[in-house]
Amino acid sequence: MAIITDLIRNTATLSAVPGEEARQLRGEKIANGWDIWIIGSEEIARQNVYPSLHAYFGIEIFKYLILQDPGWDYRSCDFSGYEKEIKYASSYLDATSTDYERFKKRNGKLILWHGWNDPALSAYATIEHYEKVKAVDPDIMDYMRLFLLPGVLHCGGGDGPSQVDWIEIIRDWVENNNPPVRITAVKTVAGESVITRPLFPYPGQAMYNGKGDPDKESSYIQK
| pTM reported for the whole predicted model | 0.81
| Pair 158, 181 in one domain | yes
Does one domain contain both 128 and 149? Answer: yes
Claim to verify: residue 34 and residue 125 sit in the same structural domain: no
Contacts of 200 (CB under 8 A, 6+ apart): 147, 181, 182, 183, 206, 222
Same domain, 80 and 121: no
d(CA 38, CA 16): 9
* Residue 201 to residues 57, 101, 141, Cα–Cα distance (Å): 30, 21, 9
3-state helix, strand and coil shares in percent for the chain, rounded to the nearest 5: 35, 20, 45
Between CA 48 and CA 39 the distance in angstroms is 14
Asked if 128 and 217 sit in the same domain, the reply is yes
pLDDT of residue 100: 96
Specify the amino acid at residue 173. W
Q: Please state, as a whole number, how many other Cβ atoms lie within 10 Å of the Cβ of residue 14.
A: 14
- Could you tell me if 111 and 209 lie in one domain? yes
Clarify whether residues 145 and 163 are in a common domain.
yes
DSSP string, 11-22: EEEESS-TTHHH
Q: Choose among 48, 51, 37, 66: nearest CA to 155.
A: 37
The CA-atom distances, in angstroms, between 222 and each of 126, 204, 205 are 21, 6, 6
Does 166 lie in the same domain as 113? yes
Domain end, chosen from 93, 125, 150, is at 93
Residues 128 and 71 in one domain: no
Q: What's residue 44's pLDDT?
A: 66
- The C-alpha angle with vertex 191 and arms to 188 and 194, in degrees rounded to 5, equals 35
Q: What is the pLDDT along the chain (223 residues), one digit of tens a residue?
A: 333 344 444 444 444 455 554 444 434 455 556 777 877 777 766 766 788 888 888 899 989 988 889 998 888 888 888 888 888 888 888 888 999 999 999 999 999 999 999 988 899 999 999 999 999 999 999 999 999 999 999 988 888 999 999 999 999 999 999 999 999 999 999 999 999 999 999 999 999 999 999 999 999 999 8
Q: Give me the pLDDT at residue 31, please.
A: 57
Q: Of 56, 73, 93, which closes a domain?
A: 93
Alpha-helix runs per DSSP H in the chain: 20-25, 34, 42-47, 53-61, 82-93, 101-105, 123-136, 166-176
In which domain, by residue range, is 21 found? 3-93
Same domain, yes or no: 114 and 201: yes
Instruction: Show which of 93, 126, 160 is a domain's final residue.
Output: 93
For position 20, what pLDDT does the model report? 52
Residue 87: predicted pLDDT: 87
- Closest-CA residue to 159 (of 147, 168, 150): 150
Whether the CB-CB separation of 150 and 197 falls below 8 Å is answered with: yes
Q: How many domains does the chain have?
A: 2
| Same structural domain, 72 and 160 | no
Same domain, 11 and 108: no
